[in-house]
Amino acid sequence: MAETENSGSIYFTVREIGILVLLSVLAALTGALVPSYLFPEDRVSAIVYGALGLPGPGAGVLIFGSILCFWLVLGLLVIKKTGSAVVMSVLIIAIDLLFGQQSVTLNTLDVFVFVALILEIVSLLPKKKMVLDRALPVVLSGLGAYTLFLVITGRAKTGETDVAVTGFPAGYVIIGILALLFGIVCYRYPVRYFFGGAVANMYYALHFWLFWGISFGDRLPVSPEVIPVIFCIAGTGGGFLAAAAYGIDLTLQMYRKEASVATDQ
C-alpha cells in the first residue's frame, strides 16, 4: 500500500485554499456544529455511557475527535503540502467561534491546533525503517486486549463514576475487537497516517483531562483502570477514520490516473 508524499511546500494556490476552506466547513459542520446542536452534552453522554456502556470522561472523543482527524488527514492527503492541517484547524476554530456553542476560551478550542500539529509532524516522518511502524500495532493490540480483559473479569466500568456496567458491556467488546483488528491492519500496512490519526486522537482525550476541568485530577476518570480503555477508544476511532481518509485519497488518485490515461488515448 503506497503512501502519498507530502511536498513540504507551505505555499498554497487559490484552488488549494478553496479546497481547505471547503474541507474546514465540512469538518466544522460534521465534527462540531451539527453534533453540538443534534447531540447536546447530555445526549452524547446517554449514547456513550448509556447505550454503549463506555467509561468517561473522554469517551466522546470517539465521535468528535475521530471526525476531526478524518478531515485533517484528508486535507493533508488531498493538498499534499505542509501546513494544510494547521490551516484547516485555524479555520475550524474560526467557524466554531462564529457559529458554534463552544465557550470562547483558548483551552476549549486549541486542541484542534495541537491535533493538527501532531498529524503534520507524523506526515513528515520518513516512511521506511520507522520504529512507529510496529509501535502502533503493538499499542492498539495491547489496549484492545486489556479492554477485553476487563470484560472477561467483570470489571468494565461505565460513565464518569466507579460504577460497573449493568448487563453485557457491548461497547467494550466492540472497541476491544476493533482495536485488535486495526492493530493487525496497521502491522500489514504500516501507513504513517494511521499512526497519526490514532496518536492525535489519543492526545485529544489527554488534552481534555489536562485543560478542560478545574484541575488535572478533577478531570481524570474516577477509576484509573479505565484510562487505557479510553485511550483504546480514542486510538481506534482516530486510526479508523484516518484510514477512511486515506482510502478516499487512494480512490481519488486511481480516478485521476484512469482519467489521465483515457485523455492520452
The position carrying cell 485533517 is 72
Q: Which of the two residues, 109 and 103, has the higher pLDDT score? A: 109
Q: Which of the two residues, 228 and 7, has the higher pLDDT score? A: 228
User: How large is the average pLDDT for residues 39-60?
Assistant: 74
The dihedral over CA atoms of 27, 28, 33, 39, expressed in degrees to the nearest 10, equals 30
What is the structure's pLDDT at 98?
Answer: 82
Check pLDDT > 80 for residue 231: yes
What is the structure's pLDDT at 135?
Answer: 87
Element (H, E) at 265: none
Percent of the chain with pLDDT over 90: 45
- The three cell numbers of residue 84 are 494544510
Q: Which of the two residues, 71 and 2, has the higher pLDDT score? A: 71
What is the structure's pLDDT at 35?
Answer: 60
Average pLDDT over the chain, rounded to an integer: 84
State the CB neighbour count (10 A cutoff) for residue 1. 10
Check pLDDT > 90 for residue 149: yes
What is the structure's pLDDT at 97?
Answer: 81
DSSP 158: E
Check pLDDT > 80 for residue 260: no
CA–CA distances in Å: residue 183 to residues 104, 106, 133, 200, 243: 38, 34, 11, 16, 12
Q: How confident is the model at residue 136 (pLDDT cuts 50, 70, 90)?
A: confident
What is the structure's pLDDT at 72?
Answer: 96
Q: Are the CB atoms for 235 and 202 separated by under 8 Å?
A: yes
What is the structure's pLDDT at 191?
Answer: 87
Check pLDDT > 90 for residue 24: yes
Alpha-helical segments (H) within the chain: 14-28, 34-38, 41-45, 64-79, 84-99, 106-109, 111-124, 132-152, 170-188, 192-211, 216-219, 227-264
Name the residue among 255, 245, 243 with its Cα closest to residue 195. Answer: 243
Check pLDDT > 50 for residue 104: no
168 burial type by CB count under 10 A (0-12 exposed, 13-18 middle, 19+ buried) = exposed
